[in-house]
Amino acid sequence: MNQALEGIKVLDLTRVLAGPYATMILADLGADVIKIEMPNIGDDSRQFGPFVGEESAYFMSLNRNKRSITLNLKSETAKGLFVEMIKEADVVVENFRPGTMEKLGLGYDELKKINPRIIYAASSGFGHTGPYSKRAAYDGVVQAMGGIMSITGEKNGKPTRVGPSIGDIAAGMFTSIGILAALQYRNVTGVGQKVDVAMLDCQVAILENAISRYVVTGEIPNPAGNRHSSIVPFEPFETVDGEIMIAAGNDTLWTKLCEVMERSDLADHEYFKTNLLRNTNYDILRPMIAEAIKTKTTYEWQEILDRVGVPNGPINTVDKVLQDPQVIAREMIVEIEHPVAGKLKMPGVPVKLSETPGSIRRPAPLLGQHTEEILKEILGFTNEKIDELMKENIF
Amino acid sequence: MNQALEGIKVLDLTRVLAGPYATMILADLGADVIKIEMPNIGDDSRQFGPFVGEESAYFMSLNRNKRSITLNLKSETAKGLFVEMIKEADVVVENFRPGTMEKLGLGYDELKKINPRIIYAASSGFGHTGPYSKRAAYDGVVQAMGGIMSITGEKNGKPTRVGPSIGDIAAGMFTSIGILAALQYRNVTGVGQKVDVAMLDCQVAILENAISRYVVTGEIPNPAGNRHSSIVPFEPFETVDGEIMIAAGNDTLWTKLCEVMERSDLADHEYFKTNLLRNTNYDILRPMIAEAIKTKTTYEWQEILDRVGVPNGPINTVDKVLQDPQVIAREMIVEIEHPVAGKLKMPGVPVKLSETPGSIRRPAPLLGQHTEEILKEILGFTNEKIDELMKENIF
């Protein structure tokens, strides 16, 4: 057994981002993820640019390690096949609007009658309960409603959307956590269950201590810019050719920073010697640090600060992230050969397991690429049977 | 069995945020998390404000559902006790700088000799391998280096830090995913393993399609403000009393939006009737939408847009998040009674499991609150034995 989730069969009805991110995590760790797509159309994100030839880079980066079967779930014959597949599956994942699976007659209550061991995971905008349940949401909407925008942005500036779609991605991560926890429960009891994850809930969960901070102080948090709320210096400073984040988290690091800035006079200065003093006298201190940092390039400061152990880092653009020696050493950028699009770089697997390292075993599938293979493998169909079904236009 | 992770014993050596967030996820889903803290000091975040009396709200919100034992791991006697506890544990989690556990003689290679079933999870800034491995990182540093800042911020503005500590929180989430995947592997094979999660790696993982977008187009992504990159209208607009996010994701929604704006003339207008046209003619369209939205309050627009099904949401500040009917209905704000601090509100459990719902079973522990209880329960010590050990100043 080379993969942690080897042998776990996942039927994946998800589209676009939150759901596919969840099943990508499972697939990267070894689950057999079978993507069930609408014939001719498939996952909406197959139409999202940019494209390599006619293949969506967006789709390809989220759907590696998965196989694709087409199935028109509006047809009764296709529903029958899906139900047969449910009998052989461990997990089913969907991110439709709540109620969609019930309308198809394939809601959790139906599926668990067919396979009581099935783990049914639903990722949706607002969840399967509550007054907003039936509403559609997008990443931008839940970032707005969930509070994260209100505390992101320049000091005294406007609420700002987080660049990556953290509304979707956080939901994808918590969905995979829910599935894995349900798997543990099933390993002990033999019983499956439903996992209901809402994008909005996940935004509240990642707000974390902003909530208790508000509750305790009564102060409504605002965008705070790039400065740490209570540690000085802990923010980016301009260099000759860019910016560098400097995080002198305690007085020892402050002393070291003063030395390399050639401002040892500041280290024990009665205005600056403790973090509390540095906070109080921030307005006179910041320009002095800024003046010193402005004299060298970002790279020069990295070398100097790393040598004395002051935590720091450049504000990397995406191109620089791909060149970072640590990112490369950790295999966090992988290059996958796609049969049509050729080689494509994308993020690697962030969960590093010593015995069963995650792996990229196959590129994202073409639409319906594995339909026959899966019908034979899971349902034991013959070529004749498949030919017959093909006439029904369900694939 | 009422909880998904019931019976899973976690020895938790983590401090501050990334590690405690990982073990909070496990504890919320039923794991027995035993926090091992330095005598007299404990988790550093016990000193982080704001405080309720002398109790840190920061600490309390991250450490619910856990028990606390003090143990000075620099003492040989204490190490002996820790080793005995390892024999009874399923998981150990730490977020020290790489090498710290090895220096204590308690690295994974040692611990797996004692208990080959142990799952050893390490969450660190840069991971346990690679050229930066030994460096310290903080949330601000990995947000800078990992690229998320470079694509967050106002259009043409500066790179912006994400308000919540997403550098820590993403690492905490992936650490819990790694532990749960390792548990699945152990359930099949009986063998434990090491889970090595780096904050920087996780930042790369959540950049997601920003990476393949750059690779395919060669364009370095910049902060893009709050507007969707390819859908119009999909951004916040000012109202009488604030802002509202409006996400008209397709032409049908666009038509509905035009109706309620009383601008049906725009719906089929040759400049605006398709999304492509709306993108092309954005500069003349936006002011027209803005003018219409400016006439009513945020709440009025919510009512109107919800009625016709156009996805929308207010940009909630944290106080508003706590009052949101959906957030309340989903129990995403919980109030916990702490024996010293009284009642405190914090985020609920975002993973909703039908058979084994996550739960808050106890408030965050006082430092060493459960030392005796745990020594008796796990190691079977008598009062006499404990009294004897107390003299060694290891608790």
- Where residue A304 sits, what CATH number does that domain have? 3.30.1540.10
Q: How far apart are the first and last CA of chain B?
A: 33
Q: Are A381 and A375 in contact (CB under 8 A)?
A: yes
Residues of chain B with pLDDT under 50: none
Backbone torsion region of residue B30, taken as left when φ is above 0, otherwise alpha when ψ lies between -120 and 50, otherwise beta: left
| Cα angle, residue B235 at apex, residues B233 and B241 outer, rounded to 5° | 115
A16 and A146 belong to one structural domain: yes
- If you write DSSP's letter for every residue of A135-150 in order, what string do you get? S---HHHHHHHTSTGG
**Is B159 in Cβ contact with A352 (below 8 Å)?**
no
**Is B161 in Cβ contact with A352 (below 8 Å)?**
no
Residue in this structure with the two tokens 């609150």, named with its chain if needed: B369
Report the C-alpha gap between B167 and B142 in whole angstroms. 6
Q: Give the model confidence (pLDDT) of A132-172 as tens digits.
A: 999 989 999 999 999 999 999 999 899 999 999 999 999 99
B59 and B124 belong to one structural domain: yes
Report the C-alpha gap between B180 and A155 in whole angstroms. 39
Report the C-alpha gap between B339 and A15 in whole angstroms. 46
Cross-strand partners of B335: B345
B313 and B340 belong to one structural domain: no
Determine which one of B28, B43, B139, B168 is catalytic. Answer: B168
Q: Give the model confidence (pLDDT) of A347-386 as tens digits.
A: 999 999 999 999 999 999 999 999 999 999 999 999 999 9
- Is A306 part of any domain? yes
Predicted local confidence at residue A136, as pLDDT: 87
CA B98 remoteness from chain centre: 22
A241 and A192 belong to one structural domain: no
- Which among B196, B203, B193, B271 has a CA at the least distance from the CA of B232? B271
DSSP-derived 3-state class of residue B73: coil
B125 and B34 belong to one structural domain: yes
Burial class (CB in 10 A: 0-12, 13-18, 19+), A298: buried
Q: What are phi and psi of A224, to 5 degrees?
A: -115, 10
A285 and A352 belong to one structural domain: no
A168 annotated active-site: yes
Predicted local confidence at residue B185, as pLDDT: 98
CA A271 remoteness from chain centre: 43
Contact list in A for residue B173 (CB cut-off 8 A) is 170, 173-174, 177
B311 and B346 belong to one structural domain: no
**Is B225 in Cβ contact with A29 (below 8 Å)?**
no
For an interface test with A, the pick among B326, B335, B336, B360 (most A C-beta atoms closer than 10 Å) comes out as B326
- Is B267 part of any domain? yes
**Is A243 in Cβ contact with B212 (below 8 Å)?**
no
Give the range of the structural domain holding residue A280, as residue numbers without chain letter.
234-316
- Is B34 part of any domain? yes
Neighbours of B105 (CB within 10 A): 12
**Is A348 in Cβ contact with B205 (below 8 Å)?**
yes
Contact list in B for residue A249 (CB cut-off 8 A) is 136, 138
Contact list in A for residue B191 (CB cut-off 8 A) is 355
Report the C-alpha gap between A69 and A394 in whole angstroms. 11
Alpha carbon separation from A3 to A179, A355, B13 (Å, rounded): 17, 8, 27
Percent of chain A with pLDDT over 70: 100
Which residue in the set B50, B132, B247 is minimally distant from A141, CB to CB? B247
Which residue in the set B140, B188, B202 is minimally distant from A350, CB to CB? B202
Predicted local confidence at residue B209, as pLDDT: 86
Predicted local confidence at residue B230, as pLDDT: 82
DSSP-derived 3-state class of residue A35: strand
Predicted local confidence at residue A229, as pLDDT: 80
CA distance B133 to chain A (A): 8
Predicted local confidence at residue A108, as pLDDT: 98
Decide if pLDDT at A249 tops 90. Answer: no
Do strands A9-12 and A91-94 pair parallel, antiparallel, or not at all (unpaired)? parallel
Cross-strand partners of B68: B35
**Which residue in B has a C-alpha nearest to residue A208's C-alpha?**
B347
Q: Which helix (H) or strand (E) holds B361?
A: none
**Is A137 in Cβ contact with B311 (below 8 Å)?**
yes
Contact list in B for residue A315 (CB cut-off 8 A) is 144-145, 149-150, 159
Which residue in the set B57, B207, B212 is minimally distant from A344, CB to CB? B212
A170 and A253 belong to one structural domain: no
Which residue in the set B157, B195, B205 is minimally distant from A347, CB to CB? B205
- Is A136 part of any domain? yes
**Which residue in A has a C-alpha nearest to residue B127's C-alpha?**
A330
Mean pLDDT to the nearest integer, A26-42: 97
- Please identify, among A316, A344, A372, the residue that sits at the C-terminal boundary of a domain: A316
Residue in this structure with the two tokens 């808050």, named with its chain if needed: B360
DSSP-H helix ranges across chain B: 18-28, 57-62, 76-88, 100-103, 108-114, 139-145, 166-189, 199-207, 209-217, 251-260, 264-267, 275-280, 282-293, 298-308, 318-323, 325-329, 371-379, 383-390
Report the C-alpha gap between B143 and A314 in whole angstroms. 10
Alpha carbon separation from A299 to A175, A290, A296, A309, B162 (Å, rounded): 40, 16, 8, 15, 24
Cross-strand partners of B347: B333
Contact list in A for residue B8 (CB cut-off 8 A) is 184
Tell me the three-class secondary structure of B323-349, residue by residue: HCHHHHHCCCEEEEEECCCEEEEEECC
Burial profile A106-123: b = 16 or more Cβ within 10 angstroms, e = fewer: bbbeebbeebeebbbbbb
A123 and A159 belong to one structural domain: yes
- Please identify, among B317, B338, B360, the residue that sits at the C-terminal boundary of a domain: B317
**Which residue in B has a C-alpha nearest to residue A133's C-alpha?**
B326
What's the structural domain count of chain A? 2
- Cis link prior to B365 (omega < 30° from 0)? no
- Which among B70, B72, B94, B82 has a CA at the least distance from the CA of B22? B94
Which residue in the set A201, A212, A245 is minimally distant from B350, CB to CB? A201
Contact list in A for residue B322 (CB cut-off 8 A) is 211, 214-215
Q: What are phi and psi of B105, to 5 degrees?
A: 75, 20
Report the C-alpha gap between A166 and A18 in whole angstroms. 9
Contact list in A for residue B155 (CB cut-off 8 A) is none
Which tokens is B202 given?
């996780």
Instruction: Output the domain CATH number for residue B122.
Output: 3.40.50.10540
Predicted local confidence at residue A171, as pLDDT: 98
Q: How far apart are the first and last CA of chain A?
A: 33
**Which residue in B has a C-alpha nearest to residue A108's C-alpha?**
B354
Backbone torsion region of residue A127, taken as left when φ is above 0, otherwise alpha when ψ lies between -120 and 50, otherwise beta: left
- Is B222 part of any domain? no
Neighbours of B59 (CB within 10 A): 24
**Is A316 in Cβ contact with B144 (below 8 Å)?**
yes
Q: Are A268 and A332 in contact (CB under 8 A)?
A: no
A186 and A37 belong to one structural domain: yes
Contact list in B for residue A162 (CB cut-off 8 A) is 148, 152, 162, 166
Burial class (CB in 10 A: 0-12, 13-18, 19+), B9: middle
Tell me the pLDDT band of A111, cut-offs 50, 70 and 90: very high
**Is B178 in Cβ contact with A177 (below 8 Å)?**
no
B341 and B192 belong to one structural domain: yes
Predicted local confidence at residue A317, as pLDDT: 97
ipTM of the complex: 0.97
B170 and B91 belong to one structural domain: yes
- Please identify, among B317, B341, B362, the residue that sits at the C-terminal boundary of a domain: B317
Neighbours of B259 (CB within 10 A): 15
- Is A150 part of any domain? yes
CA distance B383 to chain A (A): 34
Determine which one of A43, A90, A139, A168 is catalytic. Answer: A168
DSSP-H helix ranges across B156-281: 166-189, 199-207, 209-217, 251-260, 264-267, 275-280
Which residue in the set B176, B215, B221 is minimally distant from A344, CB to CB? B215
**Is B164 in Cβ contact with A344 (below 8 Å)?**
no
Q: Give the model confidence (pLDDT) of A270-321 as tens digits.
A: 999 999 999 999 999 999 999 999 999 999 999 999 999 999 999 999 999 9
- Is B292 part of any domain? yes
Report the C-alpha gap between A302 and A311 in whole angstroms. 9
- Is B297 part of any domain? yes
- Which among B26, B88, B8 has a CA at the least distance from the CA of B63? B26
Predicted local confidence at residue B264, as pLDDT: 96
DSSP-H helix ranges across chain A: 18-28, 57-62, 76-88, 100-103, 108-114, 139-145, 166-189, 199-207, 209-217, 251-260, 264-267, 275-280, 282-293, 298-308, 318-323, 325-329, 371-379, 383-390
Which tokens is A257 given?
């920073």
Burial profile A271-296: b = 16 or more Cβ within 10 angstroms, e = fewer: ebbebebbeeeeeebbebbeebbeeb
**Is A243 in Cβ contact with B181 (below 8 Å)?**
no
The helix-helix angle for B166-189 and A166-189 (nearest 10°) equals 20
